[in-house]
Amino acid sequence: MDLDALYEEALKAAQFAYAPYSHFRVGAALLAEDGSLHTGANVENRSYGLTVCAERSAVFSAVSKGSRRFTALAIAAPDSDYPVGPCGACRQVLSEFMDEGAPVYFGGKDGRRVSATIGGLLPFDSLHDLARREE
Ligand code: THU
């Protein structure tokens, strides 16, 4: 599956966002090494700090179903004027399950798409070697 097709899956996932507070929907689509596709949407809470981003929803859903290595991620933010990359917390979680060269592809409603990598988004990844040793 190419990155544009993965992006379309992220956009579809964004429709399931539960975002009554921010009205800012986000969808994420992860391609697993085993070929499976996993999506997630942001899930907000009236206790704002409990909100979970689309990216972490996708990761936790995938890992809960047995997929642990991901080769690509797409993020769609259809309510944003510009492409939205993963937040800092999500970068840390994603780096647990993706190689540093894995592509991260993201966009907003203006049609622009940004291509990055997990390593580029999270340089000097904290405790990177520790995660590998524990596998
Ligand atoms: N959000 C995500 O789901 N992913 C991101 O990459 C950025 C932010 C969500 C969290 C919150 O529900 C809303 O977008 C506004 O921050």
Q: What are the pLDDT digits (tens) for 98-108?
A: 999 999 999 99
Whether this prediction's pTM lies above 0.85 is answered by: yes
19-55 burial, b for 16+ CB within 10 Å, e for fewer?
A: beeeeebbbbbbbbeeeebbbbbbbbeeeeeebbbbb
The whole-angstrom separation of Cα 14 and Cα 57 is 11
Domain extent listing, the chain = 3-134
Residue 115's beta-bridge partner residues? 105
Residue to mutate, 16, 21, 25, 26, ligand 1, most ligand atoms under 8 Å from C-beta: 26
Nearest CA to ligand 1 atom 8: 53
pLDDT-above-70 percentage for the chain: 96
pLDDT at 40 over 90: yes
3-134 is classed CATH 3.90.15.10: no
Specify whether 96 is catalytic. no
Show the CA angle centred on residue 130, arms to residues 6 and 69, nearest 5°. Answer: 20
Tokens of residue 135, six digits: 């596998």
Measured from CB, residues less than 6 Å from any atom of ligand 1 are 19, 22, 24, 26, 42, 44, 51, 53-55, 75, 84, 86-87, 90
